[in-house]
Amino acid sequence: MPQPVKEHEISKADRERMAQTGIDFEMKNRCGSYLQMDQDVVHSECAEAGIEVLPYKKAMEKYDWLKEYAWNVVSPEKDEVTKYVAAQKEPKGYVIIAHKGTNNIYPIQACLFLGRELIQHVHNIIIAEEGAELHIISGCSSGEHVGKGGMHYGVSEFYVKKNAKISFTMIHNWSENIEVYPRSASIVEENGVFLSNYVCMQPVKKIQMYPTATLKGANSVARFSSVVIATPGSYMDLGSRAILVGPGSSAELITRAITKGGTIMSRGHIAGKTAGTRGHLECKGLILKDGIIYAVPEIEGSVVGTELSHEAAVGKLAQEEIEYLMARGLDEDEATATIIRGFLDVKISGLPEALQKQIDASIDEAEKTGF
Amino acid sequence: MLDIRDLHVKVGDKEVLHDINLHIGEGETHVLLGPNGSGKTTLLMTIMGYSNYTITEGKITFKGEDVTNMKAHERAERGIGMLFQRPPTISGLKLGKLLTAISRTKTEDIPELAKSLHMDKFLERDINKGFSGGEIKRSEVLQLMIQNPDFIMLDEPESGVDIENISLIGTAIGSLLEKDKHIVKRQKSGLVITHTGYILDYLETDRGHVMCDGQIRCHGNPREILKDIKKHGYKECLECRNP
């Protein structure tokens, strides 16, 4: 049995904020856990045989070969964020390795919590070896006392080996004064599957990310989904990219974006580089209060035999739908919230039920306050 | 049950219903006939309280209460319900979730009622997404069963529905309107739009009205009117427009 996460130093309010991102302190439905508060690794363990959850430094000491996986898919020279993380003498973050053929039924949780420091930096490496299946839920939140503001710099490198699968579900619960700069990339080998889900229903000052999946192996698959709400003052620059290299590889990029006054840049890019590849990009946006949803879908085919498509729509709630529900007895607010909840309902094929439930719960929580 | 007096309705700047008068008593079911575009659906949507149908004159009274300026959900709460001819598709909203929302707390009947209309496999589907004509109507009837209104408006319940489904839907609607009860015990009332009259095989109706150009032109025995229309079309009604 995995040990409960030590929580003596975490205030009740902070625990609740972490729980909203899917962190389960009781570890009832989790097989492993990594908790980093600011730069302190509070907890790192995994009860599943063949799956390791290690602090970055310890992992590097344990496995010499890991060096080849660090700064491999993300370049340290990419931008100011990666340069800052690469320059750290005491690198933080986690390494998760699912060894050959292992499978975790219950996900591993990774919690990155920003409490007091100005910048939290992490460098994560996630590897699913041949035939392994690895599910991770990453909850990122900040403490109630981060009055002065803070920044989170996170570099994540994912390796999905032959016939392996990684699902990475990230739920954010920051606050109005936090800036977040994840930099992540993945390589997916033959028949590998990479699922990346992002949910952010709460205010954040700024988030900027553009995770990239290179589908190197034949018949590899990547699915990105993002479900976000931008409140006034939030600036969300979100994108995802899939590069289809392996024959038969495919990608799906799905976004549901709602602005209540904030700004959302919804980017997406699929490049079809080999015949027999397929990609679809879908962005649907709802403007509930004046704000910006700027959808930039890009599809780039460079060979005969790649099939790429995109659809993007930005609009308002349909009055006809609201009144239909009102005719069934729901008042206007209930009808509106019910339709928004439906709009945000993205079911991710291949995602374990427990994680889908966690995503649903996070959105349901926002529904309680009428979004 | 329902009393409409001197009703005038505008959509945008255009008046589309002119001086409508209609009285439907408790336990009665009336039929609304008329050519396409004559204003039948407009009248139903107005009674339901849809916001883009503006009442400029007149009054709608339901169970003795003036509902003219009430919103749709307030009318629904008071017992007005409607089967829509073309209800919207709502992405992501599961039929089961809507039924739960409609029922408020009494959710235990949902599975059985869904089964009775062969809709039990649709509870986890997005409302009306990819539904066939018959499935849409069965979903509508199911929602009304949960809602259990006292006055039910039915906008072409048989359109797009095959014979087998008409029987299923017709029987269910008959039961909603308490047609299985003795006439003196019936408390539910209805107003049905039909072009074919097939639905009338399942619902005995009390009175028929013919609409032309946004006005109710004549009243009478519904089967007799329908028989006449089937024989002569709406020619006589249209001629009646400028007597």
Residue A60 lies in a domain: yes
Closest CB to A330: pick one of B49, B52, B101: B101
- Using alpha carbons, select from A171, A36, A25 the residue that is nearest to residue A90: A36
Rounded Cα–Cα distance for residues A170 and A148 (Å):
25
Q: What's this model's pTM, rounded to 2 decimal places?
A: 0.88
Using the predicted structure, report yes or no on whether residue A351 has a pLDDT greater than 70.
yes
Nearest CA-CA distance, residue B86 and chain A, Å: 11
Average pLDDT, chain A: 91
The pLDDT of residue A268? 96
Q: Which residue of B has its CA nearest to A344?
A: B92
State yes or no: ipTM above 0.85.
yes
- Structure-derived torsion over alpha carbons of residues A252, A224, A365, A106, reported in degrees to the nearest 10: 110
The pLDDT of residue A21? 82
DSSP string, A3-49: PPPP-TTS-HHHHHHHHTTT--TT-TT-SEEEEEETTEEEEEEE-ST
Residues whose CB falls within 8 Å of the CB of residue A347, separated by 6 or more in sequence, listed in order: A356
Name which of A326, A336, A345, A371 to mutate to probe chain B: the one with the most chain B Cβ atoms within 10 A of its Cβ.
Answer: A326
Rounded Cα–Cα distance for residues B151 and A203 (Å):
45
How does DSSP classify residue A103? B
Tens of pLDDT along chain B (243 residues) come to: 999 999 999 999 999 999 999 999 999 999 999 988 999 999 999 999 999 999 999 999 999 999 999 999 999 999 999 999 999 999 999 999 999 999 876 788 899 999 999 999 999 999 999 999 999 999 999 999 999 999 999 999 998 888 888 999 999 999 999 888 888 888 899 999 998 888 888 888 999 999 999 999 888 899 888 888 888 888 776 666 554
Kindly report the CA angle at B56 between B51 and B58, in degrees rounded to 5?
110
Contact between B90 and A324 using a beta-carbon 8 Å cutoff? yes
- Using alpha carbons, select from B227, B223, B234, B213 the residue that is nearest to residue B38: B213
Residue A120 lies in a domain: yes
Residues of B with CB under 8 A from a CB of A: 48-52, 71-73, 75-77, 81-82, 84, 87-88, 90-94, 97-98, 101-102, 126, 143, 147
Using the predicted structure, report yes or no on whether residue A371 has a pLDDT greater than 90.
no
Q: Which residue of B has its CA nearest to A319?
A: B51
Cα dihedral sign, B96-B97-B101-B106:
positive
DSSP string, B76-99: HHHTEEEE-SSPPPEEEEEHHHHH
Residue A286 lies in a domain: no
B chain contacts of residue A348, beta-carbon cutoff 8 Å: none
The pLDDT of residue B218? 86
What's the start-to-end Cα distance of chain A, in Å?
A: 37
The pLDDT of residue B105? 66
Residue A303 lies in a domain: no
The pLDDT of residue B238? 65
pLDDT tens readout for residues A259-291: 999 999 999 999 999 999 999 999 999 999 999
Q: Which residues pair with A133 in a beta bridge?
A: A103, A165
The pLDDT of residue B243? 45
Nearest CA-CA distance, residue A324 and chain B, Å: 7
Using the predicted structure, report yes or no on whether residue A118 has a pLDDT greater than 90.
no
pLDDT tens readout for residues A201-232: 988 999 999 999 999 999 999 999 999 999 99
Contact between B88 and A324 using a beta-carbon 8 Å cutoff? yes
| HSE-CB of A194 using CA atoms within 13 angstroms | 38
Using the predicted structure, report yes or no on whether residue A63 has a pLDDT greater than 60.
yes
A chain contacts of residue B77, beta-carbon cutoff 8 Å: 329
Closest CB to A329: pick one of B52, B84, B147: B147
B chain contacts of residue A334, beta-carbon cutoff 8 Å: 101
Interstrand relation of A178-188 and A150-160 (parallel, antiparallel or unpaired): parallel
Rounded Cα–Cα distance for residues A212 and B186 (Å):
66
3-state secondary structure B14-79: EEEEEEEEEEECCCCEEEEECCCCCCHHHHHHHHHCCCCCEEEEEEEEECCEECCCCCHHHHHHHC
8 A C-beta contact, residue A31 and residue A104: yes
SS3 state at A357: helix
| Region class of B9: left (phi > 0), else alpha (psi between -120 and 50), else beta | beta
Rounded Cα–Cα distance for residues A57 and A63 (Å):
10
> Within a 10 A sphere around the Cβ of A174, how many other Cβ atoms?
25
Number of domains in chain A: 1
Residue A69 lies in a domain: yes
The residue with greater pLDDT, B31 or A44, is B31
Helix, strand, coil % (nearest 5) of chain A?
A: 15, 45, 40
A chain contacts of residue B52, beta-carbon cutoff 8 Å: 319
Name which of B45, B93, B142 to mutate to probe chain A: the one with the most chain A Cβ atoms within 10 A of its Cβ.
Answer: B93
Rounded Cα–Cα distance for residues A34 and A112 (Å):
8
The pLDDT of residue A136? 94
Structural domains of chain B, ranges and CATH numbers in brackets: 2-241 (3.40.50.300)
pLDDT tens readout for residues A72-98: 999 999 999 999 999 999 999 999 999
Q: Which two tokens stand for residue A108?
A: 């591993």
Contact between B92 and A328 using a beta-carbon 8 Å cutoff? no
Q: Which residue of B has its CA nearest to A345?
A: B92
Residue A19 structural domain = 1-199
Residue A363 lies in a domain: no
A287 phi/psi in degrees, rounded to 5: -105, 105
Q: Which two tokens stand for residue A122?
A: 């992490």
Residue A41 lies in a domain: yes
Residue A234 lies in a domain: no
Rounded Cα–Cα distance for residues A268 and A237 (Å):
11
Rounded Cα–Cα distance for residues B55 and A319 (Å):
18
DSSP string, A137-160: EEEEEE-TT--S-EEEEEEEEEEE
Cβ–Cβ pairs < 8 A, chains A and B: 73
pLDDT tens readout for residues A294-326: 999 999 999 999 999 999 999 999 999 999 999
Name which of B53, B71, B90, B139 to mutate to probe chain A: the one with the most chain A Cβ atoms within 10 A of its Cβ.
Answer: B90
Q: Which two tokens stand for residue A331?
A: 């008042």
Contact between A330 and B82 using a beta-carbon 8 Å cutoff? no
8 A C-beta contact, residue A220 and residue A192: yes
The pLDDT of residue A44? 85
